[in-house]
Structure 1
């Protein structure tokens, strides 16, 4: 009998522990009245500052081709050269004709008007001018028989083999100007108008296999849409060196962010509101494992949504669903998974 009495007393003392309510799981939202940051992601392609196909301006057989693909060439480095023998002979011939024309013009001018007529002198001077022009043309052709790098370049592709006979204007080698690496992206027409001139848009690039975000600067944009998709091409530039082995044609992910408009209130669902008999609204603020009923002012606007115009400060967490089922001071915990 005494043992039974002790058991009843023990159970009575433990009743409050079993009867106490367990913290109820609730969904929370954080109040934030700061401007919304708009984010968009685009897939682009790395490009060079410029890409050129070098070609001889004269015809001939390629005698030297110094263009190993993937190598870099300093500005003014010799890239390719034609067989110069014929062009050197043309310069020598033009030089000889010029020297003879110069001697003839000087001799006729020194004879005087009694021996040489004025017409003969003028004809000699004309021949001298034509010989000078022919000499300059021959020198230009000789100079055009050699190709030099117009800038610090990356050799992208050889377009012919060495010892090939080429006509004037035949592309020989393709060079990239990588003094500034750029990125081209296609932006839909609607987003292009929203971005405007891009003063407040911030661009960053992420390369495959690398989590580093490289800042990008706007360089230019096309003012005509593509024939397919109604998109504008925007050209951006890396402000920092993206590292080695980042070549034109590489894929890149571009993230664009721009500040949105400052909200004129915080949108909250009806399920987050609790009304007293007088019709005044409150929300349940989550603090230290329990909720506290806090008065707020709400406004129903023309878009059909409720806006909180007065209430807790930014960063405060409130119950977003089922607030009317809670009582002031009730123990709760954040909802983490389905089935709680």
Structure 2
């Protein structure tokens, strides 16, 4: 059995050891204490920069140039052609001379009709002064009035014939063919020349049903023409369309309008390539579903990354993230399109939003070390 004298020294030794440990802790340097403090954990995050996306889709169609209208021009009166200055392939401006008949006969007919009208008018004036006397009856006056009316019509017909002895271009025309030669005697209504209306070029293409519907209603569809002679693009506009689909291919025929290019000869029948560009989402950025979180009220929000202003931290990719409300919509293809809330050029967290908090310090993830 241990004696009491042995127990007392043992207790004193233990107390001294505990006192020594406490003093060592108090005397430990601040540097040693900092080494044992847990370091701040900074999470790496994947970021994406918002840019206006190039969501345009361009399709090519091969078309053919056609005239706005094609007419076979003819005289409305008969006679001999004495002037026929146009040649095939010539561009004649609106109102330009196409052909002219010998006007001598028409001038004589107009003079005759004018004299007959004047004579009938004088007779009627004389009978009107004698109205009520026994010399002129009411029936005679009425017959004379009829003769005046007929003479007026004859004079108008003669004026019409003289006016239509000259054939002018009804529009900016391309002379396609001449059907007769100069000095030929032609009858009324006989085609003299075939003209193409070149005031507004037309291009015909066949397009699928889907693009046809979008082109007729969507302002994000742009159309351009490119000719084989160069790479210049000319803007087009829809003029008309056939309201029935073709039996083969289920396509619709579109007729596009093109202002006549300066310095470029484009004839009906020429081949042309039509470029149809569809801007699906107006160039707005497309957001992945992992970059979007829902706020308490159910509204969409993203986390925007801001690089630290400290040069050393920014060089190391350190910064903070902040929640920001955004407005989004769904595209035709089911993608999430950013409408507003974040400007192009800003960085947002691409994934892992539920594990982050507003204002948290993070590090930009740039890849795994080699």
Q: TM-score of the superposition, structure 1-length normalised?
A: 0.63
Question: Which range is displaced more, 175-184 or 142-151?
Answer: 175-184
- Which residue matches 2:128? 109
Deviation at 1:113, TM superposition (A): 1.4
In the alignment, structure 1 residue 186 sits paired with structure 2 residue 206 = yes
- Other-structure match for 1:121: 141
* Residues 1:71 and 2:87 are matched in the alignment: no
Counterpart mapping for 1:182-331 below 5 A: 182-226=202-246, 229-238=249-258, 241=261, 243-260=263-280, 265=288, 311=350, 328-329=368-369
Q: Which residues of 2 match residues 159-178 of structure 1 at below 5 A?
A: 159-178=179-198
Q: Distance in 2 between matches of 1:57 and 1:168?
A: 5
- Structure-to-structure mapping, 1:29-178, within 5 angstroms: 34=53, 36-114=55-133, 115-178=135-198
Equivalent-residue separation in structure 2 for 1:230 and 1:64 (angstroms): 50
Aligned pairs for 1:6-17 (under 5 A) are none
CA contact (8 A) 2:288 2:350 kept: no
Q: Give 5+ residue unaligned stretches, structure 2.
A: 1-49, 290-335, 337-348, 352-366
Distance 2:259 2:98 in 1: 30
DSSP-derived class of the 2:183 partner: coil
Number of the residue aligned with 2:358 = none
CA distance in 2, matches of 1:265, 1:43: 37
Measured after TM superposition, the shift of residue 257 of structure 1 is: 0.9
Secondary structure of 2:81 counterpart: strand
What do the CA deviations read for 1:12-59 (whole angstroms, capped 9, x no partner)? Answer: xxxxxxxxxxxxxxxxxxx99947423221111223343332111122
Please give the alpha-carbon distance, in whole angstroms, between the structure 2 residues aligned to 1:258 and 1:137: 58
Distance 1:69 1:239, change over 3 A: closer
Query: C-alpha separation between the residues in 1 aligned to 2:71 and 2:150?
Result: 35
CA distance in 1 between counterparts of 2:106 and 2:121 reads 22
Alpha carbons 1:221, 1:232 under 8 Å: kept: yes
Figure out how many residues of one structure are paired with residues of the other and give that number: 249
8 Å Cα contact 1:215/1:240 also seen in 2: no
The Cα of 1:124 is off from its aligned counterpart by 0.5
Deviations 1:101-151 (A, max 9, x none): 112111211223112112211110111011101110121012112101223
> C-alpha displacement at 1:72, in angstroms?
2.7
1:215 CA displacement: 2.0
How many angstroms apart in 2 are the aligned matches of 1:255 and 1:104?
74
Change (3 A) 1:169 1:188: farther
| 1:194 Cα deviation after fit | 3.7
Q: State how far apart, in whole Å, the 2-side matches of 1:96 and 1:196 are.
A: 61
Cα 1:204/1:128, change in 2 over 3 Å: same
Q: When the two structures are superposed, what TM-score results if normalisation uses the length of structure 2?
A: 0.59
Secondary structure at the counterpart of residue 247 of structure 1: coil
Q: Secondary structure at the match of 1:132?
A: helix
Looking at both structures, which has the greater relative contact order when contacts are Cα pairs under 8 Å and sequence separation is at least 6? 1
- Segments of 5+ residues of structure 1 without an aligned counterpart are 1-30, 267-306, 313-326, 331-340
Conserved? CA contact 1:67–1:173, under 8 Å: no
